[in-house]
Structure 1
Amino acid sequence: MTNPINAKRVKLLADLEYLVGNNCYNPKIQNYGAHGIYQGEGRSIRYPLTVLDGENEPKKSRGKASVADAKELSTGYYAFGVNRLHIIKALDEVLRHLEDNHGLKL
């Protein structure tokens, strides 16, 4: 995100990221309930968002991203091994596309 963003947009980006991050599924997790009863394979998980703090140190979060620091939030990514999906930047690009091409007003 190259342009400064307002608090409303930051909150929207954090909300959208939370929705995306809650839609991760691992089919290989073995689920056992009370008393060791097998409940089938697979489980939905919250994919952790990683942000870089002021010292460029990564911080992972499985909860809703903090909107207190827009610059920190803008570094948010999902780590897939050595690859990164810059989810906050991607969501901001989606919003900008919707604003520029489809009349979305924020």
Structure 2
Amino acid sequence: MPKKLSKSRRKLLVQLEGILGKECYNGSIQNYGPGGSREAEGRSFRYPLTVRETDGEKQKIRSFTIPENISDEAVRSGYYAFGANQLDVMSGIERILSFLEEKHGLVIRD
């Protein structure tokens, strides 16, 4: 069983994923304002994060942050689904943090 995340490490993982997840943009989305007038093309959106609970159940998170009641194990499992592909975003962010700690002296304070 993986070790428990410290509060500060979990908070940082969640914050970094939130930044990344809000960087999605689709130029084909049409935006319409009041009265049906077309305002602009394209829209940014929050890409949904999928997490796997310990019982194997999958949960999509569309809110701008991961709820506190999601377990550390589920947080670590977070990924973005792209059709048949997936990007294990939380695992990737955790590996980046470990790299920065080991190679560049990053200290995540509690």
User: What TM-score does the superposition give when structure 2 sets the normalisation length?
Assistant: 0.89
Q: What is the percent sequence identity of the aligned residues?
A: 41
The residue that corresponds to 1:97 in the other structure is 99
Residues 45-101 of structure 1, C-alpha deviations (whole Å, 9 max, x = no match): 000000012321111111111244111111100000011101100000110111111
Please, which runs of 5 or more residues in structure 2 have no aligned partner?
Answer: none
Shift of 1:3: 4.5
User: Closer, same or farther in 2 for the Cα pair 1:91/1:67, shift >3 Å?
Assistant: farther
The residue that corresponds to 1:65 in the other structure is 66
Instruction: Write the distance in 2 (CA, Å) between the matches of 1:4 and 1:45.
Output: 31
Does 2:33 align with 1:13?
Answer: no
Q: Secondary structure of 2:5's partner?
A: coil
User: Closer, same or farther in 2 for the Cα pair 1:97/1:82, shift >3 Å?
Assistant: same
Amino acid at match of 1:102: H
Amino acid at match of 1:47: Y
Range with greater deviation from structure 2 (64-73 or 13-22):
64-73
Coordinate RMSD, CA, aligned? 1.2
Instruction: Write the distance in 1 (CA, Å) between the matches of 2:24 and 2:68.
Output: 22
Please, which runs of 5 or more residues in structure 1 have no aligned partner?
Answer: none
Task: Give aligned pairs, total.
Answer: 105
Shift of 1:4: 3.7
Runs of 4+ with deviation above 2 angstroms: 2-5
User: What TM-score does the superposition give when structure 1 sets the normalisation length?
Assistant: 0.92
Does 2:25 align with 1:31?
Answer: no
